[in-house]
Amino acid sequence: MLYYHNILNGVWFIEPAFAGNYIHYVTNWMKGIRNESDDSDDKKSSDKSALRISIIENESYVISPAGISVAPEDAPENSIAILNINGVITKNDQFCGPVGMNTKADILQRCYNNQNIKAVVITGESGGGESNAMRLMVSKIAERNKTVIGFVDDFAFSAMYGILAACDMIFANSELAQTGSIGTYITLVDYSKQLEMEGISVKEIYATKSTDKNKAFTDAINGKPEAVRAICDQYNEYFLQSVATGRGDRLKGQEKDWGTGKTFFASEAVKMGLIDGIDTLENVINYFNV
């Protein structure tokens, strides 16, 4: 599901309603209830390095059928690689869930290394995820030696949009596709009452000179969130700057218009310069058929 060390105190670029879909996993874990994704049988996975490939047939690019994929090294000449990102965006692979951005970045690099691959299309259907996972993919996209196109598959919020914003262009699959939610937050959980009900008393003893150890988070739990908000602000400034750099002069309006965490339907996103157009994935791939 998720790497536990990031669930409760990580910095997230994620749309809140999307994050809410996973709350039962988190609450089960906190209660000591085994989640389905923890079963050892679920840890088995198929080849995580495979991706879809589009090739020319009858003078037009066609997408390989669902379930048929190849390693980047096996892509035929003059092909287009299609790299899918969906679910919660994490830095590391999940046991029975989305492949992490460490793996996705490696796949992308292997696409760069294969001269048979003409271009890459990154399709996104995600509400976002870990800030450091987005940073990893943005950095890898910046290293590209061929065109990389972003594609919004119904919705691409927060970290998912941040990844697509680093691409050369972005398209959405319909007028009803949504994007944006460019913002940052941290969720803190106070276990004290739950532990007290279970008869558990936790005492924290700090070294004499460790006066600032955990202070920001302790203060936030006690109603003084300023220091933790400053951490959010630091990450958020990176997020905003990353989008501004990726989109450049295509962005319309000011940061206050697109960088407050608001979401946008595709037609409005086009007007604001957050994306470049609305089209089908098949048509986008055939932009390279020249």
Quick one: which of 165, 84, 162 has its CA closest to 121? 84
137, 105 contact by CB (below 8 A): yes
Quick one: which of 115, 49, 120, 116 has its CA closest to 76? 116
In Å, how far are 19, 63, 148, 172, 276 from 283, measured between CA atoms?
Answer: 32, 11, 15, 11, 14
CA geometry: angle 257, 241, 212, nearest 5 deg: 110
128, 13 contact by CB (below 8 A): yes
Q: Output the pTM of the full model.
A: 0.85
Number of Cβ atoms within 10 Å of the Cβ of 281: 17
Q: Where are the domains of the chain?
A: 4-288
Positive or negative torsion for Cα 98, 100, 105, 110: negative
CA–CA dist 285, 150 (Å, integer): 11
Least confident of 3-17, 144-158, 172-186, 223-237: 3-17
Tell me, what's the pLDDT at 5? 47
Residue scoring higher pLDDT (98 or 265): 265
138, 162 contact by CB (below 8 A): yes
CA–CA dist 66, 56 (Å, integer): 17
Which of the following CATH numbers is that of domain 4-288: 3.40.630.10, 2.40.160.20, 3.40.50.620, 3.90.226.10?
3.90.226.10
Helices (H), 131-182: 131-142, 159-165
State the average pLDDT over residues 88-110. 87
CA–CA dist 159, 172 (Å, integer): 16
CA geometry: angle 227, 232, 238, nearest 5 deg: 135
Quick one: which of 41, 117, 121, 138 has its CA closest to 284? 121
CA–CA dist 219, 244 (Å, integer): 33
Beta strands in the chain (DSSP E): 11-14, 52-57, 60-63, 79-86, 117-126, 128-130, 148-157, 169-172, 178-180, 185-186, 263-265, 277-278
Count helices and strands (H / E) in the chain.
Answer: 12, 12
Confidence class of residue 64 from pLDDT cuts 50, 70 and 90? confident
Tell me, what's the pLDDT at 195? 78
Dump pLDDT digits (tens) for 26-37: 555 445 555 554
Tell me, what's the pLDDT at 12? 63
Dump pLDDT digits (tens) for 125-164: 999 999 999 999 999 999 999 999 999 999 999 999 999 9
